[in-house]
Amino acid sequence: MKVPFEGTILSVKARIRLIRSFDQIPTHQYQGYSLVMSGKVGDAARDFKIAIGPKAHEKHRFRIGDVVSGEGEAVPDPNTEWGEFYKISGLEVHKRGPSPDDAPPGPDGGIAPALEVYRANGHRRLDRDTWARNCAACPWGLNMVTEIIVDHWNPDRKKYRFETHCYGPKDCPRYNPGKPYRVPGRSAGMVYVDDDVERSSQPFR
Ligand code: SF4
């Protein structure tokens, strides 16, 4: 069942799923964008997040301060989607936020770029507290659904968690990597420590 929503955008983030299999280089699914909003869902006033596809963002170029309405379905499993609502329809923009159409993404907002730009930049781990404190408005700082294939001989055996990562420039003064992510293996005690080695050679703009 779809529920109506209306609210003001607080941030726009890419929606990229990270897929890990122990010590293999992670792969990614570039799904679209998440809009973090404050407003009303049905009759309830609250903050909420919606998951949209890349075409909706390409069309509207969402930004902080936009007032947007639509309707969507609650996601069935909150472990597999950061947004609370997906299958969004009837999106309308009622008022535009202050950023111009070509505002570059940065710590205080701007326009989230095409998913191809995220793919080209690559990401580095980002300390979760730093992400929450310093990166809330930045389109580069993502809280990514992370699917872990625990046993590659039995790929249906999966775990889910959220990892915070930064797709922005190396020299951002707000950046703090935090501890490396630890990836469990198929037997008790097997752990791979991902120290971002495979990403250290990327240009990262
Ligand atoms: S550390 Fe990354 S996510 Fe945070 S403000 Fe800087 S560029 Fe944005």
Q: What pLDDT does 152 receive?
A: 80
> Is the Cβ atom of 172 under 6 angstroms away from ligand 1?
yes
Query: 53 CA to middle of ligand 1, Å?
Result: 23
Q: What is the spatial distance between Cα 95 and Cα 113, in angstroms, rounded to a whole number?
A: 21
Residue 201 pLDDT more than 70?
no
| Pairwise pLDDT comparison (203 vs 75), residue with the higher score | 75
At 154, which amino acid appears?
N
Q: How far is the CA of 141 from the centre of ligand 1 (A)?
A: 5
Query: Residue 108 C-alpha to ligand 1 middle, in angstroms?
Result: 9
Please tell me the distance between residue 128's alpha carbon and the centre of ligand 1 in angstroms.
12
Q: Which of 20-24, 82-86, 152-156, 195-199 ranks highest by mean pLDDT?
A: 82-86
Residues 6+ apart with CB under 8 A from 167: 14, 118, 121, 122, 123, 140, 141, 142
Q: How far apart are CA 91 and CA 79, in angstroms?
A: 25
DSSP label of 75: P
Percent of residues, the chain, with pLDDT higher than 70: 96
Q: Which tokens in the block code for residue 72?
A: 């969507």
Average pLDDT, the chain: 94
Q: Mean pLDDT over residues 108-137, rounded? A: 97
Tell me which of 123, 138, 142, 176 to substitute to probe ligand 1's pocket, judged by most ligand atoms within 8 Å of the beta carbon.
Answer: 138
Predicted pLDDT at 196? 84
Q: Which ligand 1 atom sits nearest the alpha carbon of residue 169?
A: 7
Ligand 1 centre from 202 Cα, in Å? Answer: 16
pLDDT for position 159: 94
CA 2, CA 9: separation in Å to the nearest integer? 20
Which residue type, as a one-letter code, is found at position 125?
R
Query: What's residue 68's pLDDT?
Result: 98
Quick one: pLDDT at residue 155? 81
pLDDT interval class at 197 (50, 70, 90): low
The minimum-distance atom of ligand 1 relative to the CA of 173 is 6
Q: Where are the alpha helices (DSSP H) in 2-141?
A: 54-60, 115-121, 128-134
- The pTM score is 0.94
- Which residue puts its alpha carbon closest to atom 3 of ligand 1? 141
